Amino acid sequence: MVDMHGNSSKTLRQSLISQRKAFAAESVFPQAKEGLITSLQNFLAINDVLLRSVALYCPIQDEIDLRPALLAWANQDAKRSLLLPFARPDKHLEFYLWKEGDTLSPSKHGVLEPNPGNIERPQMVPDCILLPCVGWNASQLEGKQHYWRLGYGGGYFDRTLAQLRHANPKLLCVGIGFHWQKLTDSQWAAQAHDEPLDALITESGLLF
């Protein structure tokens, strides 16, 4: 579906977001959404022993809403927690415990966020972070296959992942996207500051 030819990242993002909006209105979208959710459930099952806290996101601009599937996962075990990100002014993210029904407030980017002042919802360090992809790329790094995320351009996740990975080398960073969002190196290639993903979840399955 993607058809770009070396334009700027900003133009590429705008095109991909428009294509995602159109895709969400197509008849094949419900099947693709179901396939992606199934891939997420498979990922959670594979990593059942490792995962206790998973950071998700509130969807914007036709992103898939993962909350129902993740709530079902968390409700199976009292030791499991779901976290939501809060964007600090210095463009780093903090993650806070989230429960269904919590009051959330929109950030300046329109993303619903938790209240960092709520003492009943402490800040936590996730075992896994799920990141929505505007686009994604697969390439080799130091002889290994890696997946890279094209986000919205704010750099919040890259700054945060670099910091959290230093503190927790076992942290899993997992992209969420559709197979048609895959980009070639000529369309977009990761830069030095971009953090690689540990895995990618699409409607076609899990990519490690």
Q: CATH code at 183?
A: 3.40.50.10420
pLDDT over threshold 90, residue 71: yes
Tell me, what's the pLDDT at 115? 93
Token pair 């990141």: residue: 131
Q: Which CA distances in Å does 93 have to 23, 137, 159?
A: 29, 23, 8
Is 12 inside any structural domain? no
Q: How many CA atoms are closer than 13 Å to the CA of 112, on its beta-carbon side? A: 14
Q: Where are the beta strands (DSSP E) in the chain?
A: 53-55, 81-87, 93-98, 105-106, 112-113, 128-132, 135-141, 144-150, 172-176, 182-183, 199-202, 205-207
Query: Residue 59 and residue 37: Cα distance in Å, rounded?
Result: 14
50-54, 101-105, 106-110: which range is least confident on average? 106-110
Question: Could you tell me how many helices (H) and strands (E) the chain has, helices first?
Answer: 4, 12
Is 45 inside any structural domain? no
Query: Residue 178 and residue 136: Cα distance in Å, rounded?
Result: 9
Average pLDDT over residues 97-124: 93
Residue 63 marked ligand-binding: yes
Tell me, what's the pLDDT at 4? 42
Sheet of strand 135-141: strand arrangement: 144-150, 135-141, 182-183
Is 187 inside any structural domain? yes
pLDDT over threshold 80, residue 77: yes
Average pLDDT over residues 81-92: 93
Tell me, what's the pLDDT at 139? 83
**In the structure encoding, which two tokens stand for residue 4, read together?**
């770009």
Is 11 inside any structural domain? no
**In the structure encoding, which two tokens stand for residue 191, read together?**
């830069």
Residue 206: which domain range?
53-98+110-143+156-208
Tell me, what's the pLDDT at 6? 44
Q: Which tens digits make up the pLDDT trace of 172-195?
A: 999 999 999 999 988 998 888 888
Is 4 inside any structural domain? no
Is 133 inside any structural domain? yes
Q: Which residue has the higher pLDDT, 145 or 81?
A: 81
Is 168 inside any structural domain? yes
**In the structure encoding, which two tokens stand for residue 165, read together?**
């990975």
Is 15 inside any structural domain? no
Structural domains counted in the chain: 1
Query: Residue 182 and residue 163: Cα distance in Å, rounded?
Result: 27
